[in-house]
Amino acid sequence: MSDSKLEMTEFHWLMDVLQNIDVGLVVLDRDYSIKLWNGFMENHSGLRPDQAKGKNLFSLFNEIDKSWFQKKAESVFLLNVRAFTISEQRPYLFKFNNNHPITGRAEFMYQNATIIPLNNADGSTEHICLIVYDVTNSAMSKHDLLGVQSLLGSH
Amino acid sequence: MSEITALTEDERDCYQEITNVAMGQAADRLARLLNVYVVLPIPNVNIIERSEFKMTIKSLEDAPSVSAVCQGFIGAGIAGEALLIFNDLSFSDIAKLLDYESVQNSNEELEMLMDVANVLNGACIQGIGKQLDINFSQSHPVVLGQHRPISELLDDKHATWERTMAIEINYTIEDHNVNCDLLLLFTEESVHHMNRLISFLLED
Amino acid sequence: MTTKVIICDDSNMARKQMSRSLPDDWPTEITLAKNGAEAIEVIKKGGQELMFLDLTMPVMDGYQTLEAIRKDDLPIMVIVVSGDIQPEARDRVKKLGAIEFIKKPVDKDKIKSVLIEYGMIEPPSSPEENAGGDNE
């Protein structure tokens, strides 16, 4: 296979992976408009890419605390470092349903998130990528553990 | 949103047929993996109340202990879980079929459960998705109560739902003592969405 | 000439899908059957040429139906249409006398090519003529 054909194939694989991977991927520009919306986000939000792209993140999801999130995101835009949010701070970014709506106990999906800078060729950052992880299982285990600990009177 | 208390005959027929085709694909993969013939009965489709569900689970617990693998799926307004329930007695037979020399410990049992569940859950979920033109997201499988009663799942303190659409599929492998039940459980809201989606399949 | 065809499947939806997948320009007289027993009754009355048969049905399933046809040497060609696509299912139905196995959901083009292969419909004579309409 020629080099450019190989690159195209790899590109298609990568697109496939991004679409099907079981974490949420959201790319945002400087105005917090959505530029990329993968399969995970589509399936859990019920919003197709054409319904999410070009819209302002906060207008679509008012459960996200705007000033809190922007503070985190600005550090990524300006300082070119990663930022993290964990479910212990806030249980979720996006209010999605529990992945186990029948057998599960959690009311919603607990989430951790990573925000990474996406750099331009000149090193400046005009886009960020929000990676959303479902951590419901470990969050529930922690709850259970805390419950047991308080029952035993230790903590 | 209105309650769904029952399906029409046409709707039930449609879900049975869609499941039938998806089951066939799942059974085909299992048949090739294990080199066996999988007996496919007609799936049972019903709207059931929470209390009935508890009874269904109890009745599936043939032996004192069962194991189950549970996987959530979601897409296009449809969400649910695939619950694959194994009678532990099947383990040694499945082990033979999968060419495990022996299943001495719970780790190996887990490996086996995963192998079979991946094939059956995945093929069924994606099989249904393909017919409805939906690319479902699947969550990681969770093993529920290995050697513990499944009915522990349904303690009423955490009741979050009233009713579910349950599609029950029983897989049996011919000439082997292997029997497992796959329960596809859809949320009530999903059923509204699905009924809309299948209406085009039902029109003349 | 009209071909007499039976569509045998317990699912109303599947019977509809099957009818819709037959070639549009193929003149047929279709009889619907909900299970093998109903189908056998119709076949015994005579005149039927082809049957599309499902495998998973109550009362009398596809395998039992094929066996009954073979036992009484009933004059009918059978194409099995099923969601049960595992290798052994295909083997079993062929051994029981089915001429072909088509998997569900049915593909309209696949049906057409099978019908052409078994001489139930005329193949398109040539690409140019085919564009202008059929010569049925």
Cα radius of gyration rounded to whole Å, chain B = 17
Domain count, chain C: 1
SS (H, E, C) B112-158: HHHHHHHHHHHHHHHHHHHHHCCCCEECCCEEECCCCCHHHHHCHHH
Within a domain: C125: no
B-C contacts (CB, under 8 Å): 60
With beta carbons under 8 A apart, name residues in chain B contacting A111.
none
Q: Which subunits have 3 or more CB–CB pairs within 8 Å of chain B?
A: A, C
Please give the residue that has the higher pLDDT: either A137 or B103. A137
Helix axis angle, B188-202 to C12-21, nearest 10°: 40
Predicted confidence at residue C68, as pLDDT, reads 95
Give me the residue from B70, B74, B138 closest to A44, CB to CB: B74
Please give the residue that has the higher pLDDT: either C125 or B153. C125
Q: What is the ipTM of this complex?
A: 0.78
Give me the residue from B14, B23, B41 closest to C13, CB to CB: B14
Within a domain: C114: yes
Predicted confidence at residue A73, as pLDDT, reads 94
Predicted confidence at residue B200, as pLDDT, reads 79
Domains and CATH numbers, chain B: 9-202 (3.40.1550.10)
Contact A39 B137 (CB under 8 A): yes
Within a domain: C78: yes
Contact C104 B21 (CB under 8 A): yes
B74 touches chain A (CB under 8 A): yes
B39 touches chain C (CB under 8 A): no
Within a domain: C37: yes
pLDDT band with cut points at 50, 70 and 90 for residue A146: confident
User: Nearest residue of C to residue B36 by CA position?
Assistant: C88
B20 touches chain C (CB under 8 A): yes
Contact A102 B75 (CB under 8 A): no
Q: Alpha helices of chain C — where are they, by DSSP H?
A: 12-21, 36-45, 62-71, 87-95, 108-117, 127-131
Q: What CATH number has the domain bearing residue C46? A: 3.40.50.2300
Question: Which of the residue ranges B107-116, B175-184, C66-75, C103-112 would you say has the lowest mean pLDDT?
Answer: B107-116
pLDDT band with cut points at 50, 70 and 90 for residue C102: very high
With beta carbons under 8 A apart, name residues in chain C contacting B31.
86-88
Helix axis angle, B188-202 to B106-132, nearest 10°: 50
Range of the domain at C30: 3-120
C95 touches chain B (CB under 8 A): no
Predicted confidence at residue B158, as pLDDT, reads 64
Question: Which of the residue ranges A102-111, B15-24, B154-163 would you say has the lowest mean pLDDT?
Answer: B154-163
Percent of all residues in chain C with a pLDDT value above 90, rounded to a whole number: 75
With beta carbons under 8 A apart, name residues in chain B contacting A43.
74-76, 135-137
Positive or negative, the CA dihedral C104, B77, B73, B3 is negative
C17 touches chain B (CB under 8 A): yes
Contact B72 A104 (CB under 8 A): yes
Domains and CATH numbers, chain A: 23-151 (3.30.450.20)
Predicted confidence at residue B118, as pLDDT, reads 79
Predicted confidence at residue C136, as pLDDT, reads 40
Q: Which subunits have 3 or more CB–CB pairs within 8 Å of chain A?
A: B
Within a domain: C95: yes
SS3 A116: strand
Within a domain: C25: yes
Predicted confidence at residue A7, as pLDDT, reads 87
Residue A69 has pLDDT above 60, yes or no: yes
Within a domain: C44: yes
Within a domain: C65: yes
Residue A153 has pLDDT above 80, yes or no: no
Q: How far is A95 from chain B (nearest CA, A)?
A: 15
* Bridging pattern class, strands B163-173 and B178-187: antiparallel
A-B contacts (CB, under 8 Å): 57
Contact C89 B23 (CB under 8 A): no
Percent of all residues in chain B with a pLDDT value above 90, rounded to a whole number: 21
d(CA A74, CA A90): 19
Over residues C37-43, the mean pLDDT reads: 95
CB atoms within 10 A of CB C63: 18
> The pTM is what?
0.82
B160 touches chain A (CB under 8 A): yes
